Amino acid sequence: MRFLVDNALSPVFAEELAKSGHDALHVRDVGMQAATDEEIFDLAAKEGRIIVSADTDFGMILALRRTAEPSVVIFRRSSGRRPEQQAKLLLGQLPRVADSLERGSVVVIEEDRLRVRALPIGGGTGR
Per domain, the residue ranges of the chain are 2-118
pLDDT at 118 over 70: yes
Model confidence pTM above 0.85: yes
Residue 126 has pLDDT above 60, yes or no: no
What is the pLDDT, as a whole number, of residue 80?
Answer: 59
Mean per-residue pLDDT, 60-67: 89
Q: Where are the alpha helices (DSSP H) in the chain?
A: 11-19, 37-47, 57-65, 83-103
**What confidence score (pLDDT) does residue 88 get?**
92
Tell me which CATH code domain 2-118 carries. Answer: 3.40.50
**What is the percent of the chain where pLDDT is above 90?**
76
Q: What is the mean pLDDT of residues 21-48?
A: 97
Long-range CB pairs of 61-66 (<8 Å, 24+ gap) are: 61/37, 62/106, 62/119, 62/120, 62/121, 63/121, 63/122, 65/41, 65/120, 65/124, 66/120, 66/121, 66/122, 66/123, 66/124, 66/125, 66/126
Instruction: Give me the pLDDT at residue 100, please.
Output: 97
Residue-level pLDDT at 59: 86
